[in-house]
């Protein structure tokens, strides 16, 4: 699933699966990003936490993601939104790791907290309530 981070340093891609998708409440964080297209990842499983989903690095039948090209400023904003901590990634709510998409290597935010008891989404998309 994961490749070295150097692969996306110059033009990082981000694969999003929840409230950052087009038409959803946090998509404005991607204003100025280039939408590359949709993809289906079998390397992650989603959990429905209610107001947002969480991805875990577990095999699935394919979760739907949207892939965007972002600059360093947008990526920094996404890190803040997702509580990704560069120096101690396991201390924040999400860690940011590289996954393979049809558009190339992309960052994927993976949830650091426990998901036991939450509904599992092994195929398709998370839908807001």
Q: Could you read off the pLDDT of 42-101 as tens digits, one per residue?
A: 999 999 999 999 999 999 999 999 999 999 999 999 999 999 998 998 999 999 999 999
pLDDT above 60 for 7: no
- Collapsing DSSP states into helix, strand and coil, what is residue 28? helix
**Hey, what are 3's tokens?**
């490749």
Residue 11: the pLDDT is 59
pTM for this structure? 0.90
Domains and CATH numbers, the chain: 5-124 (3.10.490.10)
Residue 28: the pLDDT is 98
Alpha-carbon span 26 to 114, nearest angstrom: 23
- Collapsing DSSP states into helix, strand and coil, what is residue 77? helix
Active site residues: 82
**Hey, what are 53's tokens?**
């989903």
Alpha-carbon span 14 to 67, nearest angstrom: 6
Alpha-carbon span 64 to 85, nearest angstrom: 25
Residue 10: the pLDDT is 56
């Amino acid at each position: 699933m994961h490749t070295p981070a150097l692969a996306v340093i110059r033009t990082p891609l981000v694969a999003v699966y929840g409230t950052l998708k087009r038409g959803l409440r946090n998509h404005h964080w991607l204003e100025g990003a280039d939408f590359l297209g949709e993809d289906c990842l079998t390397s992650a499983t989603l959990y429905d936490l209610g107001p947002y989903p969480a991805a875990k690095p577990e095999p699935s039948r394919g979760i739907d993601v949207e892939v965007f090209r972002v600059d360093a400023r947008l990526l920094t904003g996404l890190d803040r939104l997702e509580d990704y901590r560069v120096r101690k990634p396991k201390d924040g709510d999400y860690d940011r790791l590289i996954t393979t998409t049809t558009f190339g290597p992309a960052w994927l935010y993976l949830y650091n907290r426990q998901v036991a008891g939450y509904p599992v989404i092994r195929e398709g998309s998370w839908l807001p309530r």
